[in-house]
């Protein structure tokens, strides 16, 4: 096979041309970029990024709602570099100091008895892992028929084979390209107070009706067929839908009553974005499993986690009676992102960024 000749693009025009020819971007087709060639980000500081044309932009979205501490924090680069100089990966069957320390830190800052973390590469993998934990938990308990997962319409939980079928709709998420649908998906109303699907004249009434709809779905399908309910504390796709205050406590009660695992998807809301370290803390609710990513490392490197309560995690403790979790990812527990995440969380805590989020959020509201 002949080797393709040519040098790598360096100047702005070469960079844009190469992007148009070779790069497969998220949420863009190359034909759509023909008239508006991609902005090539080259550097950043705080809330601003600079592009290859020398222009400065304010990133009002914080990446994919994921750059919590801002761009250009050299502390993160130093932490990652220091770890790479020590050991950049780990032999099979071992772990690393940063992974252990990060798991211990997450135990300290997450609510309740969320104690054990399974690390992954991002939010989609975190939610996929959380659902697998729920399904495997019941199978090991002798309830193999409990495989269904209730999610809410218009929610978004990822783009993998399983997670893309959680929430959303076929038209808006492009799922029609990947049919048939993943089995066991059940959809509940979104507790969006604005034009609530279930009606109601107030956010609280909408919240109660939407929570009751989940209970009705459980009864219709049979609680012994449902493994989990997964929900974001605040759902971003339906215009950042904040549920009425009664919704999450009622959801916790329903899952307790019917023995269903409650998964909180904190991929977007976690690590201070709502004025609490985790959004479920606004309602004093402890989920059984929590998915996190994005803000755990402010997108400096790929990292996410599925964090389980002790009673759930103990079903996978290992040994003849409780074999370990049958789920392996090459980059799970990678020491370099773990070291960077620890530094990221230190910055969030020491600079009071959670409190700042609460203050600035209240100002804009």
pLDDT in tens, 254-290: 999 999 999 999 999 999 999 999 999 999 999 999 9
Report pLDDT digits (tens) over 92-134.
Answer: 999 999 999 999 999 999 999 999 999 999 999 999 999 999 9
Q: What is the pLDDT of residue 173?
A: 59
Angle of the 203-221 helix axis to the 247-258 helix axis, nearest 10: 20
- Residue corresponding to tokens 């990822």: 158
Q: Please write down the long-range contacts of 250-256, taking CB distance under 8 Å and 24 or more positions apart.
A: 250/207, 250/208, 250/211, 250/212, 251/211, 251/214, 251/285, 252/285, 252/286, 252/287, 254/211, 254/214, 254/215, 254/218, 254/229, 255/229, 255/288
Percent of the chain whose predicted confidence (pLDDT) is above 70:
97
Residue ranges in the chain assigned as alpha helix (H): 12-22, 62-65, 74-86, 97-109, 123-140, 170-173, 203-221, 247-258, 310-313, 335-350, 353-364
Distance CA 98, CA 96 (A): 6
* DSSP for 241-305, written as a single string: BPPPTTHHHHHHHHHHHHT-EEEEE-TTTTTTTTSSSSGGGGGT---SEEEE-GGGTTTSS--EE
- Whether the per-residue pLDDT at 34 is higher than 80: the answer is no
CA separation (Å) from 13 to 33, 129, 188? 14, 42, 49
Fold type of domain 74-364: 3.40.640
pLDDT tens digits along 165-177 = 999 764 555 788 8
What are the extents of the domains in the chain? 12-60, 74-364
CA distance 233 to 241: 9
CA distance 172 to 118: 30
Q: Give φ, ψ of 117 to 5 degrees.
A: -110, 130
Chain mean pLDDT for the chain:
94
pLDDT per position as a tens digit, 216-227: 999 999 999 999
Instruction: Give the strand pairing for 289-292 and 41-45.
Output: unpaired
pTM: 0.95
Decide if 295 contacts 272 (C-beta within 8 A): yes
Beta bridge partners of 226: 148
Higher pLDDT, 94 or 35: 94
């Amino acid at each position: 096979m002949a080797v393709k000749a040519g040098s790598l693009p360096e100047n702005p025009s070469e960079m844009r041309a190469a992007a148009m020819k070779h790069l497969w971007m998220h949420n863009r087709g190359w034909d759509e970029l023909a008239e508006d060639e991609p902005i090539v980000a080259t550097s950043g500081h705080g809330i601003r990024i600079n592009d290859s044309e020398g222009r400065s932009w304010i990133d009002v979205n914080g990446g994919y709602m994921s750059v919590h501490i801002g761009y250009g924090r050299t502390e993160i680069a130093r932490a990652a570099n220091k770890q790479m100089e020590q050991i950049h990966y780990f032999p099979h069957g071992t772990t690393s100091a940063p992974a252990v320390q990060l798991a211990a830190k997450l135990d300290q800052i997450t609510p309740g008895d969320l104690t054990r973390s399974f690390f992954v590469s991002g939010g989609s993998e975190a939610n996929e892992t959380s659902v697998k934990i729920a399904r495997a938990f019941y199978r090991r308990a002798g309830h193999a028929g409990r495989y269904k997962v209730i999610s809410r319409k218009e929610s978004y939980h990822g783009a993998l084979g399983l997670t893309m079928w959680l929430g959303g709709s076929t038209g808006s998420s492009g799922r029609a390209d990947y049919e048939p649908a993943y089995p066991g998906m059940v959809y509940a109303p979104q507790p969006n107070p604005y034009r609530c699907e279930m009606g109601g004249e107030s956010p609280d009434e909408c919240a109660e009706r939407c929570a009751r709809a989940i209970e009705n779905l459980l009864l219709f399908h049979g609680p012994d067929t449902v493994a989990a309910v997964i929900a974001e504390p605040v759902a971003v796709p339906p215009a950042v839908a904040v549920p009425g205050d009664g919704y999450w406590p009622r959801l916790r009660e329903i899952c307790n009553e019917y023995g269903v695992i409650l998964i909180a998807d904190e991929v977007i809301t976690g690590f201070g974005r709502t004025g609490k370290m985790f959004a479920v803390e606004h309602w004093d609710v402890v989920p059984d499993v929590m998915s996190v990513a994005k803000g755990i490392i402010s997108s400096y490197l790929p990292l996410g986690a599925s964090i389980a309560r002790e009673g759930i995690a103990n079903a996978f403790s290992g040994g003849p009676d409780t074999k370990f979790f049958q789920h392996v990812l090459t980059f799970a527990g990678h020491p370099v992102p773990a070291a960077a995440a620890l530094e990221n969380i230190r910055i969030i805590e020491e600079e009071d960024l959670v409190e700042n989020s609460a203050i600035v959020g209240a100002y804009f509201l």
